[in-house]
Structure 1
Amino acid sequence: MASTEANQAGTPALTPEEESKILQQVEFYFSDSNLPRDAFMLEQSKAHPEGFVPLRVISLFSRMKTLLKLDKACKQVPPALMDVIVGIVKRSSVLALNEDATAVKRVEDLPPVEELSKKTDEQSLYASPFPFDTTLDQLTEFFSRVGELRSVRMRRFLASKDFRGSVFLEFSSPEEAARVAGQSLVFQGAPLQLEPKLRYGATSGVARFGEPEQAQHAVKDVDAEGRRMVAGYQAVVRVLTGDEERELVMLWEWCH
């Protein structure tokens, strides 16, 4: 397939590989792996009676801007590029466009969220350590070579949004995740720690610090500076609501 030519000044040409990545990204936004956990996308889809989400909204997501070669400050996708995006989305077997091709939705209805969350966790792994400058593309390429990869979630600090050097990986099945976990993998010279996400979640920040009240005091003692205090209390809330990502522990280590 030939690359997409620029249709007007300022509209970038896209190679077949780049178009494939764009389609994969849009499909990921609506996938079982992402949609139940993506509050914004879920809200957008529920706002329409048939579950459609405007393409202009999706096209301005940070990851999409990168794939579309748009400036980070871009507020509106050029019409010619929107036509290209529509053409790319039309190739999907799991997505459908509305009549005027301005919005997209899943073809299949979303199963119950609790069911999907359980399934996703059972076929996911925690992996670390990675250099802090590692990119999503590097991680996707690496783990796609070792297993049937569904998604990569780069874990980030709450306050700075910087990559913390660890990820959650979802594979095609619990068996596939277990097979990958049994491998001795090395990323850029560093042996990787791989363990089931459910096992990792069982040793959460609350387990490290004890009761929630103790965890809160631990964050208070880290630093009296206001911005970090706010980040610390956000982390406590995440621990109290059962989030297994151990935001509290990581923030505590980061502040030190």
Structure 2
Amino acid sequence: MDQAATQAKIRKQVEFYFSDSNLPFDKFLWTLTKKNDGWVPIKTLADFKKMKMITEDFDTVVAALKAEPSELLEVNEEQKIRRKTPIEKQDIFGRSIYAKPFAVEKETEDKTADLLNLQDEIQDFFEQYGKVLAVRMRKEDGHRGAFKGSKVAAMDLEYKGTKLETMTKEEYHNSKAEKYKDAPVTRKKGSFNAFWEEENRNNYNKGGKRGRDSFKAKDKKNDKRQRTEEEQPKTSED
């Protein structure tokens, strides 16, 4: 990969980290942006696995981020970076699709790198049909579980000769709710969502019985929305 292509890939990856599609759901990075007036050390980003797969040279990362102006990000002289514009809540649920099957063709000893490369391949595949904001891999059991071969990213598509089963995310959630409606559930830790965290914090800060009751009602609503993903019984299917 030549220098220009490497720099472009670095900028694209870092802009994704701070995007509306990722930042509110990345607990680690979101927490960092709540400190130091939003400034995050570029060194922290450069140490991410995905960034190291692009380049392990820190100076190359800094140079790439300074090479071109960004509408989303700004870099200071202390080699720190931050988002320039406020987060905008997106209709992630309504704009997502679920698709399967996908699989790593040639596995290596570095399973994480295998999956990150597969993620890039699938993003490139879907970008033939339009802009892709994010590609998320579904895991067997939370963040560190095995990849299930499906993605939340209706078309008649084939990926490397295999016809894909696709549906909207709403259809997928409804099908899971129906499939598991009578089954015992095993609760999993919910995924991070900055919008819900802020909403819950604001409700608590209001104080009084009305504020607490409002928090409980909205918390139940949020819990119900996540239930098909977080309370499904353990299974080897899907």
TM-score by length of 1: 0.66
Q: After superposition, give the CA deviation of every residue in 1:146-204 in whole Å (9 maximum; x if it has no partner).
A: 222222112222265332111111xxxxxxxxxxx2x3100122111221112222333
- The residue that corresponds to 2:188 in the other structure is 234
- The residue that corresponds to 2:174 in the other structure is 202
Q: Say if 1:88 and 1:250 are closer, same or farther in 2 by CA, change over 3 A.
A: farther
Runs ≥4 in structure 1, deviation > 6 angstroms?
none
Structure 1 residues 173-188: aligned runs within 5 Å: 181=154, 183-188=155-160
Is 2:49 the partner of 1:54?
no
- The residue that corresponds to 2:148 in the other structure is 164
- The residue that corresponds to 1:97 in the other structure is 75
Q: Say if 1:84 and 1:244 are closer, same or farther in 2 by CA, change over 3 A.
A: farther
- The residue that corresponds to 1:154 in the other structure is 137
Given that residues 36 and 42 in structure 1 are in contact (C-alpha distance below 8 angstroms), is that contact kept between their aligned partners in structure 2? yes
SS for the counterpart of 1:165 is strand
Deviation of residue 250 (structure 1)? 7.6
How many pairs align? 193
Given that residues 135 and 152 in structure 2 are in contact (C-alpha distance below 8 angstroms), is that contact kept between their aligned partners in structure 1? yes
- The residue that corresponds to 1:108 in the other structure is 85
Is 2:177 the partner of 1:215?
no
The AA in structure 1 aligned to 2:74 is A
Counterpart-to-counterpart distance in 2, 1:123 and 1:194: 13
- The residue that corresponds to 1:193 in the other structure is 165
Q: After superposition, give the CA deviation of every residue in 1:32-63 in whole Å (9 maximum; x if it has no partner).
A: 100111111110100222x1111111111111
TM-score by length of 2: 0.70
Per chain length, whose mean CA-contact separation is higher, i.e. which structure has more relative contact order (CA < 8 Å, sep 6+)? 2
SS for the counterpart of 2:36 is coil
Counterpart-to-counterpart distance in 1, 2:42 and 2:10: 12
Counterpart-to-counterpart distance in 2, 1:211 and 1:47: 45
Could you list the runs of 5+ residues in structure 1 that have no partner in the other structure? 4-13, 71-80, 170-180, 217-232
Deviation of residue 211 (structure 1)? 6.1
